Amino acid sequence: MTGVLSLVLWLPAAGALVLLAVPRERVAALRVTALAVALLDLAAAVAAGAWIDPARAGTLQLVERVPWIPSIGISYHLGADGLSLPLVVLTALLVVLCVAYSWRVETRVKDYMILLLLLHTGLIGVFLAQDLFLFYVFWEVSLVPMYFLIGIWGGPRRGYAAMKFFLYTLAGSLAMLLAILVVYLHATPRTFDLVELVARRPLAQNLPLAVLAFWGFFLGFGVKVPLFPFHTWLPDAYAEAPTAGSVLLAGVLSKLGAYGFIRIVLPLLPDAFRQFAGLTAVLAVIGAVYGGFVALAQTDFKRMIAYSSVGHLGYVMLGVAAAAAAGGGAALGDAAGKALTGATLQMLAHGIITGALFLVAGVLADGQARTGNLTEFGGLWARVPVLSGVAVLAMLASLGLPGLMGFVAEFLIFLGAYQVFPALTVLALVGVVLTVAYFLWAIYRLFFGPLNARWAALPDLDGRERWVLAPLCGVMVVVGMYPGPLVAMINAAVTNILGLVR
């Protein structure tokens, strides 16, 4: 059954076109249409997931391939496997929740919803594209709506944050464009098709050039993840973005970089990546520890989550780097598989958990509290038990409490990475300890202690907000308790990618 992936990809863009025709005063119609489109897309994504044969999750399925610019060797090539499909479903889910959460957005609703849906198409496209050119186009296309979401609906320093976000990412992605061109120009026959390129590996015999291409990809993906020291755009963008923007930035956009490392760099430039895997791991661990320390010092809720993301993405990159370093040797093949499966699962877990955290922060900051300053809260548990419960659940999941989604992921990463980078993995555990510290402290500052009299009338989550947060909590618990099928699916895809590495 082909065409499903195209449906998943283009439905939101088509929805955006429909919204264009709705008059801007009809706010309710705009919201309902956007939500309907997002829900339909989620249904399509889930259907695509059901279509995929889990036994063959390692190979690309539902493939669509049509020549697009044949004289250059570019095709419209989509495909999904156990790596990309969970990320697509995650994206579709988070967009649904973002649209539903964004009911409270009152200004320029039409533009907002259109941009959200365009962003949706761009993000899905990155995960489904199996052609480097197509990949790059979606990669860049997803920047523009996000720029506007931050720049128009963001916090007080939105202009600065939006520009910084765009400039950093564009600089990185232009470097990636050079790398793509280098790969393309050395392939015979010339093609941008990722599957063919991976099979032929044009730079395998030319290590200096492969290293050059590696650095191009490294800059592009490293800025997006973001790896230390390219992370400085992140706290500004995460904190200034409107809540839905933060959720998608943290939940999906940060995954694009790690996904690029796994999907493109690992199979295409394995030798170059192995050479710099140690460096990548060091940067990842620096990010994990540094992110933890800085998060500890934050008083703003959103900024704390932002820096905690720097830390969590550090674990992801540690897993990827371990897989890259181990890829060559059969002895470490098992460790590489565990680390990479863990990294992918951590991407999903981070998307779900951080999404929930940003939504909770959004409820406080956009709602009646009108502040995200942790020091001004206290004793909220008695006043708003549901909100508190959700927040505590998400924080515990984030700090890696066994039985919740984050634990499975981190456990697998550290299990795999320890066999490759023992010292660095132990250092990364410092980051875990810091995570425990700042989240417990945040729980204390927000929910325990005496109730600040200012919040005596603070309302709890309303019905819509409960509906938005319930699915995320459900996923956290279910995957935490019963990770088997998801892990098996990811593992199949990852094993295939690592098989290509070997």
Q: Applying CB under 8 A, which residues contact another protein?
A: 68-72, 136-137, 140-141, 143-144, 147-148, 151-152, 159, 162-163, 166-167, 170-171, 174-175, 177-178, 181-182, 184-185, 190, 212
* Spatial CA neighbour of 406 closest among 282, 471, 315: 315
Token pair for 230 = 């390219």
Token pair for 126 = 């990155």
| Closer residue to another protein in complex, CB, 111/460 | 111
* Smallest gap from residue 143 Cβ to another protein (A): 7
Token pair for 209 = 């050039």
* Smallest gap from residue 175 Cβ to another protein (A): 7
| Closer residue to another protein in complex, CB, 71/463 | 71
Within 8 A by CB and 6+ apart from 498, the residues are: 266, 323, 327, 333, 336, 337, 340
| Closer residue to another protein in complex, CB, 89/175 | 175
* Smallest gap from residue 400 Cβ to another protein (A): 37
| Closer residue to another protein in complex, CB, 167/481 | 167
Please, what is the Cα angle at 462 between 400 and 110, to 5 degrees? 95
Q: Categorise residue 163: left if φ over 0, alpha if ψ from -120 to 50, beta otherwise.
A: alpha
* Smallest gap from residue 303 Cβ to another protein (A): 23
Token pair for 442 = 């945040």
* Smallest gap from residue 475 Cβ to another protein (A): 33
| Closer residue to another protein in complex, CB, 158/302 | 158
Q: Helix, strand, or coil here: 129?
A: strand
* Smallest gap from residue 393 Cβ to another protein (A): 38
Tally the residues of the chain.
502
CB 302 within 8 A of CB 339: no
Q: Categorise residue 449: left if φ over 0, alpha if ψ from -120 to 50, beta otherwise.
A: left
CB 463 within 8 A of CB 395: no
* Smallest gap from residue 172 Cβ to another protein (A): 9
| Closer residue to another protein in complex, CB, 167/297 | 167
Q: What count of Cα atoms within 13 Å lies in the side-chain half-sphere of residue 30?
A: 26
Cα 456 to Cα 362, 378, 443, 452: the distances in Å are 19, 11, 18, 7
Pairing of strands 74-80, 61-69: antiparallel
| Closer residue to another protein in complex, CB, 144/458 | 144
| Closer residue to another protein in complex, CB, 215/411 | 215
| Closer residue to another protein in complex, CB, 130/398 | 130
CB 479 within 8 A of CB 408: yes
| Closer residue to another protein in complex, CB, 177/437 | 177
* Smallest gap from residue 137 Cβ to another protein (A): 4
* Smallest gap from residue 366 Cβ to another protein (A): 18
Q: Mind spelling out the 3-state secondary structure of 160-186? A: HHHHHHHHHHHHHHHHHHHHHHHHHHC
Q: Which residues does residue 206 pair with via DSSP β-bridges, in sequence order?
A: none
Round to whole Å and give the CA distance between 93 and 253: 14
* Smallest gap from residue 28 Cβ to another protein (A): 22
Within 8 A by CB and 6+ apart from 442, the residues are: 301, 304, 374, 395
Instruction: Provide the residue type at 450 as one letter.
Output: P
| Closer residue to another protein in complex, CB, 300/366 | 366
Query: Dihedral (C-alpha) 260, 261, 264, 270: value to the nearest 10 degrees?
Result: 180
| Closer residue to another protein in complex, CB, 163/429 | 163
* Smallest gap from residue 25 Cβ to another protein (A): 13
* Smallest gap from residue 186 Cβ to another protein (A): 10
H helices present in 52-108, as ranges: 84-101
